[in-house]
Amino acid sequence: MTALKAHEVERYALSPDLKGGLFLVYGSDSGLVHEIAERLIAHYAGSPPDAMAHISLNAADLAAEPGRIADEARTPSLFGGKRTVRVRNAAKSLVPVLAPLLDDMPDAVLILEAANLTRDDALRKLAEAHRNARALPCYADNERAIAGLIDTTFRAAGIVVSADAAMLLRSLLGNDREITRRELEKLCLFAGPDGRIDAADVESLIGDNSARAVDSIVDAAGNGDAAALDGAMSAALATGVDSQRILAVALAHFMQVRRLRRLVDGGETPKRAVESARPRVHFSRAASLERQLRVWSDTALAEACARLYAAIHDTRRSAAVRTAATGRALLAVCIAGAQR
């Protein structure tokens, strides 16, 4: 087997062990797939690649003529050097052409980019099994990888990052490597050489203000704080947040609290229950959620979910009552929270 583990891919791409052959770069993180493909191209063809030795194709270019990939691989470079062929959106339809090509591989490098592939996918199986191929899985960064990327990016730029800012960044980034890099570059430009990044900078430049506004609403309702609820609702509606979105997020929140409540009823502490939540709870909301787990019973949470679900149903039937129905439902939940 020549499949690499996900954590090995980045280091491997800097110094691949094949002189020529096929690299299948695939996975759920499209940004990382693109980044690894770029590294492989730079290794074999230079950066930027020699236009006379490198060609980039899309799967759509090969749909009517799949054999073109073999023709391109066998085309010698005009001025010598390694021939590199990149194919985006590659799929198993290329396997009938690639299998014989790998058995008689020319002096070329094929770099295929693909989405997430199952273990049984024919293209992935070919890349994992053939001696002239390597399969490079690319998945969303874990917290350790994100922390390392944050550290190396800002250290290279000579920028100091506060502990709170680093923690906030770890909670906001990681689903897509390309987006992560863009956001970090944005912060580097903001801070400038030898600058500093604080949590407030991260909030203003990267944080989702509408998402924070809705979080404030559901936390105020969950904590039984009517004054905070009124202020949060006014702020969210003033910035154009849709009332149906508020209800949907509130329902999802109380359903999550109910799931975590069952862990607490089973003997887990509120803190450990919150830490086990997936997706992870933003660190700034953890204390609020722990408080809610201490005061809300499973029965009360079920009633809150039922009330919110009914409000969603009502607002879908009549747009005219959406804002009022949303406010009434959340206030009722808030009063229930205050009585716990």
Domain CATH number, residue 184: 1.10.8
**Does residue 98 share a domain with residue 154?**
no
The confidence band for 313, taking pLDDT boundaries of 50, 70 and 90, is: confident
CA distance 154 to 180: 13
Q: 49-79: buried (b, 16+ CB within 10 Å) or exposed (e) per residue? A: bbeebbbebebebbeeebebbbebbeeebee
Cα separation, 180 vs 169, whole angstroms: 9
For residues 122 and 152, state if they share a domain: no
Residue 1, Cβ density class (10 Å: 0-12 exposed, 13-18 middle, ≥19 buried) = exposed
Q: Quick one: 201 and 274 in the same domain?
A: no
Residue 37 lies in a domain: yes
Q: Are residues 64 and 112 in the same domain?
A: yes
Asked if residue 122 and residue 22 are part of one domain, the reply reads yes
90 and 65 inside one domain = yes
Q: Which of 89, 121, 137 is the last residue of a domain?
A: 137
Q: Which domain holds residue 223?
A: 209-338
pLDDT by residue (tens digit) across 90-135? 999 999 999 999 999 998 999 999 999 999 999 999 999 999 999 9
- Say whether the peptide bond before residue 96 is cis (omega within 30 degrees of 0): no
pLDDT bin (cut points 50, 70, 90) of residue 314 is confident
Give the pLDDT of residue 302: 94
User: Could you give the percent of the chain with pLDDT greater than 70?
Assistant: 96
Is 201 in the same domain as 215?
no
**With contact defined as beta carbons under 8 Å apart, do 79 and 52 qualify?**
yes
pLDDT score for 207: 64
Question: What integer is the mean pLDDT of 150-154?
Answer: 93
**pTM metric for this prediction:** 0.60
Q: Does residue 48 sit within a domain?
A: yes
Which of 112-121, 139-148, 216-225, 269-278 is least confident? 139-148
Q: List the CATH number of the domain containing 293.
A: 1.20.272.10
Residue 96 to residue 109: CA distance in whole angstroms: 18
pLDDT above 80 (res 283): no
The answer to whether position 1 is within a domain reads no
At 226-242, the pLDDT tens digits run 999 998 898 888 777 88
- 192 and 272 both lie in a single domain: no
- pLDDT tens digits for range 62-83: 888 888 999 999 988 766 678 9
Specify if 166 maps to a domain.
yes
Q: Are residues 234 and 147 in the same domain?
A: no
Residue 202 has pLDDT above 90, yes or no: no
Q: Are 31 and 119 contained in the same domain? A: yes
% of the chain residues with pLDDT over 90: 56
On the question of pLDDT at 143 being above 90, the answer is no
Q: Is residue 160 part of a domain?
A: yes
Per the structure, how many domains does the chain have? 3
Does residue 194 fall inside a structural domain?
A: yes
| Token duo for residue 74 | 């066998």
Same domain? For 126 and 175 the reply is no
Identify the domain boundary among 170, 205, 240: 205
As a whole number, mean pLDDT of residues 23-42 equals 93
Question: For the ranges 85-99, 201-215, 282-296, which has the lowest average pLDDT?
Answer: 201-215
For residue 158, give the DSSP letter.
T
Q: Say if residue 1's pLDDT is above 60.
A: no
What pLDDT is attached to residue 75? 87
Q: How confident is the model at residue 254 (pLDDT cuts 50, 70, 90)?
A: very high
152/53 same-domain check: no
What is the length of the chain?
A: 340
Instruction: Let me know the angle formed at the C-alpha of 306 by 301 and 311, rounded to the nearest 5 degrees.
Output: 125
- The amino acid sitting at 96 is P
* Distance in angstroms (rounded) separating the CA atoms of residues 270 and 290: 5
Q: Which of 97, 118, 137 is the last residue of a domain?
A: 137
The count of C-alpha atoms lying within 13 angstroms of the C-alpha of 279, restricted to the half-sphere facing its C-beta, is 13
CATH number at residue 25: 3.40.50.300
Structure tokens at 23: 């690299």
Mean per-residue pLDDT, 53-68? 87
Q: Residue 175 pLDDT > 60, yes or no?
A: yes
Cα–Cα distance between 303 and 300 in angstroms, integer?
Answer: 5
Q: What is the pLDDT of residue 291?
A: 94
